């Protein structure tokens, strides 16, 4: 028996969400005493799955599946679940995974719970905690079918290092022309910016930055680091930054490898949404700011002096190591 994970790729590289669903699957597998099996579509390398507890990876190499196709991908996952005897299948909550999961649920006659934020309760049943009403409430849902599908919310669980011995196996998707009724011709992104959900590094600004005109340095720091930008709630409430950047208890959760908070006090509602990040760096001119207690590294100083210096040093470092 095994827990099956659908691991997503972009440009044939495994995405951060793939490692998060793998981390979560490992924890569920440990709870149930099972193994973790991942399914990849045309991934260049699957080695990194061994860092997140995956025991076996089924590697699909098939040109027909180079672009996402919900029906064909669901069919492949169904075949993998049946081959591996998987009673639990885990997917992310990307737009593609949300499209695929209901089709897979029909194929496997499985219950599907979306927006799951925590490990399942498995004592005498199987129930999951899910967000509801755009994160304003939680509900607990029991899944009573033989096969269960869990849609894990982005950044709800984070990445958990867990070394494993990874067995790689080629997998025949066994799809037919019937699975290609709808086909995505091309995907044109309207921005090259990294999304908070996919970001390894997030640079976040708070009210300490005084006004929207001062965000240029936050954008620049994010660009140098290849990071996503985020902000505290009042910043988006005041319209300094878009609501899509609001992180915290009532905003997006962040579970980045590195979270840099600039001019953010560290209120409990802010910390609730970002504390799953591995390393937190805080830049604040008040050495009593609560965020310093939650930080791994702290810089007591004026953001308007510290951030430009940081950008300069990072650029120097990049130039010397190019």
Ligand X SMILES: Cc1cc2nc3c(=O)[nH]c(=O)nc-3n(C[C@H](O)[C@H](O)[C@H](O)COP(=O)(O)OP(=O)(O)OC[C@H]3O[C@@H](n4cnc5c(N)ncnc54)[C@H](O)[C@@H]3O)c2cc1C
* Residues of the shown chain interacting with ligand X in the complex, contacts defined by CB under 6 A: 206-208, 232-235, 248-251, 263-265, 267, 269-270, 273, 283-286, 289, 302-304
Q: Which residue has the tokens 């504390």?
A: 275
Q: What does the chain come to in residues?
A: 322
Nearer to ligand X, 27 or 264 (CB): 264
- Tell me how many degrees the CA angle 62-63-64 measures, rounded to the nearest 5: 90
Nearer to ligand X, 76 or 265 (CB): 265
Nearer to ligand X, 211 or 226 (CB): 211
Rounded to an integer, what distance in angstroms lies between the CA atom of residue 239 and that of residue 233? 10
Q: How far is the CB of 272 from ligand X (least distance, A)?
A: 7
Half-sphere exposure of 44 (CA within 13 A, CB side): 7
Q: Report residue 289 as tokens.
A: 């700011």
Half-sphere exposure of 75 (CA within 13 A, CB side): 16
Which of 126, 129, 145 lies closest to 137, judged by CA?
Answer: 129
Nearer to ligand X, 137 or 319 (CB): 137
Q: How far is the CB of 209 from ligand X (least distance, A)?
A: 7
Q: How far is the CB of 321 from ligand X (least distance, A)?
A: 29
Q: How far is the CB of 256 from ligand X (least distance, A)?
A: 15
Nearer to ligand X, 87 or 246 (CB): 246
116: left (phi over 0), alpha (psi -120 to 50) or beta: beta
Q: How far is the CB of 273 from ligand X (least distance, A)?
A: 5
Q: Report residue 96 as tokens.
A: 């593609």
Nearer to ligand X, 210 or 315 (CB): 210
Q: How far is the CB of 87 from ligand X (least distance, A)?
A: 36
Nearer to ligand X, 122 or 269 (CB): 269
Q: How far is CA 292 from the centre of its chain?
A: 25
Q: How far is the CB of 282 from ligand X (least distance, A)?
A: 9
Q: What is the DSSP string of 90-138?
A: EE--SHHHHHHHHHHHHHHT-EEEEEE-SPPB-SSS-EEEEEETTTTEE
Rounded to an integer, what distance in angstroms lies between the CA atom of residue 300 and that of residue 291? 11
């Amino acid at each position: 028996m095994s827990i099956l994970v659908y691991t997503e790729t972009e440009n044939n590289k495994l995405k951060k969400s793939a490692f998060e669903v793998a981390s979560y699957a490992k924890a569920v597998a440990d709870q149930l005493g099972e193994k973790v099996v991942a399914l990849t579509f045309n991934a260049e390398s699957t080695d990194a799955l061994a860092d997140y507890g995956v025991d076996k990876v089924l590697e699909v190499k098939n040109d027909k599946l180079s672009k996402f196709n919900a029906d064909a991908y669901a069919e492949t996952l169904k075949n993998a679940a049946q081959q591996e005897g998987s009673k639990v299948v885990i997917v992310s909550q990307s737009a593609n995974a949300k499209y695929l999961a209901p089709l897979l649920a029909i194929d496997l006659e499985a219950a599907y719970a979306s927006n799951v934020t925590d490990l399942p309760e498995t004592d005498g049943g199987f129930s999951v905690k899910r967000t509801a009403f755009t994160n304003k409430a939680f509900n607990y849902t029991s899944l009573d079918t033989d096969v269960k599908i869990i849609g894990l919310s982005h950044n709800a669980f984070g990445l958990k290092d867990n070394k494993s011995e990874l067995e790689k196996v080629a997998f025949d998707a066994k799809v037919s022309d019937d699975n290609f009724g709808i086909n995505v011709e091309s995907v044109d992104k309207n921005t090259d910016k990294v999304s908070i959900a996919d970001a390894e590094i997030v640079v976040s600004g708070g009210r300490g930055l005084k006004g929207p005109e001062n965000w240029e340095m936050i954008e620049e720091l994010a660009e140098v680091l290849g990071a996503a930008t985020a902000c505290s709630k009042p910043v988006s409430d005041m319209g300094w930054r878009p609501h899509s950047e609001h992180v915290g208890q009532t905003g997006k959760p962040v579970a980045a490898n590195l979270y840099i908070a600039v001019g953010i006090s560290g209120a409990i509602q802010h910390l609730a949404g970002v504390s799953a990040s591995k390393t937190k760096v805080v830049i604040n001119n008040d050495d009593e700011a609560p965020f310093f207690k939650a930080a791994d590294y702290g810089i007591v100083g004026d953001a308007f002096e510290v951030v430009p210096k940081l950008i300069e040093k990072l650029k120097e470092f990049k130039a010397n190591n190019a």
